[in-house]
Chains A and B, each alone.
Chain A
Amino acid sequence: MNFPETLWALTGSPWALRPDTLLGVTLLLIAAALLGELVWRALRWPRMVGYVGVGTLLALLGTGADPGEPALRLVIDVALALLLFETGARLNLRWLLANPWLLATGVAESLLAAVAVFATARALGLDGQSAAVLALIAMSVSPAVVLRVVGECGAAGQVTERLLALTALNTLLAVLAIQALSAGWLLSDPETWLAALPVVTLALLGSLLLGVALGAVVAWIARRLDLRDENAVLMLLGFVLLAIVVAKTLHLSTLLVPLLAGLWLRNRSDRPWVWPRHFGSAGGVLVLVLFVAVGSASSPLDHPQALAIATALIAARWAAKGLAVFALARPSGLSWRQAASLSACLLPMSATAWVLAIDFAATHPAAAPTLLPVLLTMLALVELVGPLLLLYALRYAGELDPPTQATQAPAPLPPKGSS
């Protein structure tokens, strides 16, 4: 290989998120980390806003990520798996039993959001099938955004706890519902249903089994090794990667497997589990790439014809989720202020919705032309607003770390008894 050729390989189409443009990818990583640090220092915004911001710039330049690229897709799947695993591990089923109003909130906000999105989509002229897919995807609140903002800002409190639980619950419902819908469509075709039946059943059973197996392995490791130790965490990362590779090979759900694994780990025993966020720095890099990739998936300008309908669907979804939270706030033990905060927090949609949509479109190519433009525009509209709204809503609920306190001495007590 001669020199000019090498130079061309390094710089050719440098901004695409492809492995053959190593220089481009490297520069992107640096740019995302830099912008993340900048918004953090200047504005105290979560760094992920910077990552998504770089992705948005890419989208505007028209060089967004192509999820069809296998290497990028693997990174997305693994990063998302780490986040979904952590999300699953925050859903304590005993809590839902102890506070049935919370369970009711979770089911109601998911169903209402689906109904509202479906009705709005139909009213605006979308076909029933696309409207149904959009409605089910819209149930899920982005676990990636929620976990990342909560983790970066050190949020703690009732709204944070409920947000994590609701996110895990509505994501689980959305993934299962989409699988059911997809299976239903395959089975309703009289030509293929007999062939599809075992495939569909095995896919669901396999996802369940693999999820439980991953959860059991993590529990087994965690009992014997200290999860705060770097080497133990790398081993965990390896097992998550393995589970994803197996899931992809067997055509199982790469979303369901890690979510169920986390859920199984949390609820199998009461023992606390603590591991570094995103499984340490290795996972952190993957998550960064995930946010850049999702941000670059689409810009609001890519599909101008879908802009109005996407905006309407987001509004309907948000209003429905807020309505459910407010209606059940008092019996479930929330103050009105907390209910307002929690409602606002349910806006984000991100990587999970994206993956659900592109996978659905891959299985049902006929649905792609209407489904993808609307969904990608929805994601593009909330990708920067969502995390910021989350940040300010959690601050409104008083759940962020207190700002560093003023150190001046308090006024001295007034003298007493001087008469």
Chain B
Amino acid sequence: MSLGEFSRSKAFTLGVELELQIVNRHDYDLAPGAADLLRLVARHKTAADVKPEITSSMIELSTGVCERHPEVVEQLLEVRDMLVVCAEQQNLRLCGGGTHAFQDWSKRRIYDTPRFHHVSQLYGYLSKQFTVFGQHVHIGCPSPDQALWLLHAISRFVPHVIALSASSPYVQGSDTGFQSARLNSVFAFPMSGRAPFVLSWDAFSAYFEKMTRTGVVESMKDFYWDIRPKPEFGTIEVRVMDTPLGVEQAAAIAAYLQCVARWLLLERPFEPQEDDYLAYTYNRFQACRFGLDGVVVDPRTAERESLRRLIAQTLRDVELHAIELHAEGGLALIRAQLASGHGTDANWLRAVHAREQYLPELVRRQCLRFEGRDG
């Protein structure tokens, strides 16, 4: 299977995908309800789309191609409200968060499609441990070379969005100490990590050809990279985020990435280079472990800076682009997040658990957050 043409898409268009947890209303464990939910979803029509995912206690919603942040918010709220109604009819509930706080991975069932069964058979327990819930953001690129340039330039901002979205402190019933423990599950996959440093589509196609010849991968879907090009859509796809607890936060993170992309491509504040990746995994770890308080290293200057300050700086850098893209609403949410006591969703979860001391109740509060009923 060849890589195929890179479709052209309008620059800086947005698409947001959110993987959601399906839980029961009795003890708030994950519930195998994807098919039951989708049966009802089929009766509604929304701008965003809802699809099954690998385990039957997960569904994925994806917006259409959006130009602006307010459009993303509108589509996400519409599909969210529809899903909440459908879930209620099946005695289910939905929530965000990168992991389920206390689910037992050995109990997860694989959604019934051939591809999912193949993946499950290949990766064994990894595929069930992979019951984690992420947000993916697509950014439209008019040309494949621009896409690859942007992919490598924006990799510097991967720790930012990890910290901003971090919502997975609990795994299998215990506090991991991480703000985003979800990514630790992703890193276990052999094809995870970062894309090879090539800046032209021809070189990338050659790499892909060599990889498929080894038989290790069949399609782009087999790469679990943090950021990967999506030739069919003409986008790059940033995949490191946890699903935030609320859809507004998901839209804000998408807006942040959109503004950064526009700033990078139009102003070219720096040229990406292979050495940018020297500190990549270390910085990513800092973001996963400590969230906004993580301290990352600039591989070029060896300077250390907290993510909180770097994000604040970036918000100033992209200010004009935010106005141009009508993304101020989203960025205001992030500014408020930096200023607030809690900061990340992970901290909010820890605070709730410190008060309630009861993980099922914590998941219920997550559901309330997702439904927009505060919590």
Contacts and interface: CB of A to CB of B under 8 A. Distances in A.
Nearest to B91: A95
Given A92-B91, A156-B32, A157-B32, A271 B364 contact: yes
A88 B361 CA distance: 20
Summarize A's interface: helix, strand, loop or mixed: loop
A158 B36 contact: yes
Contacts of A274: 27, 360
A272 B361 contact: yes
Interface in A146-194: 154, 156-158, 161, 165
Interface stretch (B44-52, B174-182, B209-217, B242-250): B209-217
* Most A-side CB within 10 Å, residue of B27, B35, B36, B360: B36
A413 interface: yes
A410 B122 contact: yes
B24 interface: yes
A99 B107 contact: no
B353 interface: no
A333 B40 contact: yes
A415 B217 CA distance: 10
Interface string A237-271: 00000000000000000000000000000000011
Contacts of A90: 26
A161 B209 CA distance: 49
Given A333-B36, A401-B107, A407-B124, A272 B26 contact: yes
A125 interface: no
B215 A415 contact: yes
B90 A92 contact: no
A48 B92 CA distance: 29
A92 B29 CA distance: 16
B360 to A, nearest CB: 4
A178 to B, nearest CB: 28
A412 B218 CA distance: 11
B33 interface: yes
A417 interface: yes
B89 interface: yes
Contact of B90 (A99, A271, A405, A414): A99
Interface in A369-419: 398-399, 401-402, 405, 407, 410, 412-418
A272 B364 contact: yes
A161 B92 CA distance: 10
A161 B361 contact: no
Contacts of A13: none
Interface in B1-55: 1, 24-29, 31-33, 35-36, 39-40
B121 to A, nearest CB: 4
A405 B120 CA distance: 10
B213 A417 contact: yes
B115 interface: no
A43 interface: no
A271 B361 contact: yes
Interface of A: 90, 92, 94-95, 98-99, 102, 154, 156-158, 161, 165, 226, 270-274, 333, 335, 398-399, 401-402, 405, 407, 410, 412-418
25 contacts: A92-B91, A94-B88, A95-B25, A95-B91, A98-B85, A99-B90, A99-B91, A154-B107, A156-B31, A156-B32, A157-B31, A161-B90, A165-B91, A270-B364, A271-B361, A273-B27, A333-B36, A335-B39, A398-B32, A402-B110, A410-B122, A414-B215, A416-B212, A416-B213, A417-B209
